[in-house]
Amino acid sequence: MNLAQLNDLPVDEATHTFMQCCTSAAWVSGMVQARPFADKQDLETKADTAWQGLTEADYLEAFEGHPQIGNVDTLRAKYANTKELASGEQSSVSEATEQVIESLAQGNADYLEKFGFIFIVCATGKSAAQMVALLQARLPNDKATELANAAEEQRKIFHLRLEKLI
């Protein structure tokens, strides 16, 4: 798809397309309404603008669109709606040792228990061991700090997906 095609999509198709990038209904609505996009930079700027100032509930809704890092079964089954643009984002997890996978699973459980939402990280280009290290580094944070960290990681993810889209 190119930018002109994205700009010309009917609202329902544009909604579905942006939902592939981020599952926050408020962000998707903002992106659909922000069309037309003059160029790639305009798309990126409007994506950030739509993301800024969302509520905690909006961010949590976006996080729900992700599987837990390392949970490949969940990736395949529960989150098929984003699989087109999410493919390859966790590919390094499948290459990890059993010990690293177990550490990732335990860290994810600890994170979810502490913060009430799953660990969000832009996994592209990171090994499973690097994700374990990032998870462990973020676990001591307070909830407000971690919500901001996760929101920034989500922003990176939707930018990568927009890049794949265009």
Indicate the pTM of the whole model. 0.82
Same domain, 9 and 32: yes
Together in a domain, 144 and 75: yes
Residue 48 has pLDDT above 70, yes or no: yes
Region 122-138: mean pLDDT is 90
Identify whether residues 77 and 147 lie together within a single domain: yes
Number of helical H runs and strand E runs in the chain: 10, 0
| Residue 80 and residue 46 share a domain | no
Residue 133, token pair as written in the block:
């290290």
Among 3-7, 77-81, 91-95, 145-149, the minimum mean pLDDT is found in: 77-81
Asked, for residue 105, whether it belongs to a domain, the answer is yes
33 touches 4 (CB < 8 A) = no
Give the CATH number of the domain where residue 122 resides. 1.10.3330.10
Give me the pLDDT at residue 128, please: 80
* Domains identified in the chain, total number: 2
Is 43 part of a structural domain of the chain? yes
For residue 165, is it within any domain? no
101 in the same domain as 79: yes
Tell me if 104 is assigned to some domain: yes
Domain span at residue 42? 3-60
Q: CB of 89 within 8 A of CB of 154?
A: no
Residues 83 and 136 in one domain: yes
Q: Which one of 60, 83, 99 terminates a domain?
A: 60
* Domain termination residue (choose one: 13, 33, 60): 60
Query: Which is nearest to 136 in space by CA: 125, 128, 148?
Result: 128
What mean pLDDT is predicted for residues 160-164? 96
Instruction: Check the CA dihedral 152-101-129-89 and report its sign.
Output: negative
Q: Is residue 7 included in any domain, yes or no?
A: yes
Q: Could you tell me if 82 and 139 lie in one domain?
A: yes
Q: Are residues 52 and 98 in the same domain?
A: no
Could you tell me what percent of the chain has a pLDDT over 70?
Answer: 83
Task: Fill in the amino acid letter for 38.
Answer: A
Res. 87: pLDDT tops 80: no
Q: Are residues 127 and 72 in the same domain?
A: yes
Contact 162, 44 (CB under 8 A): yes
Largest Cα–Cα separation, the chain: 48
Between the alpha carbon of residue 36 and those of residues 50, 60, 136, 153, 163, the distances in Å are 14, 27, 41, 26, 17
Same domain, yes or no: 29 and 74: no
Asked if residue 148 is part of any domain, the answer here is yes
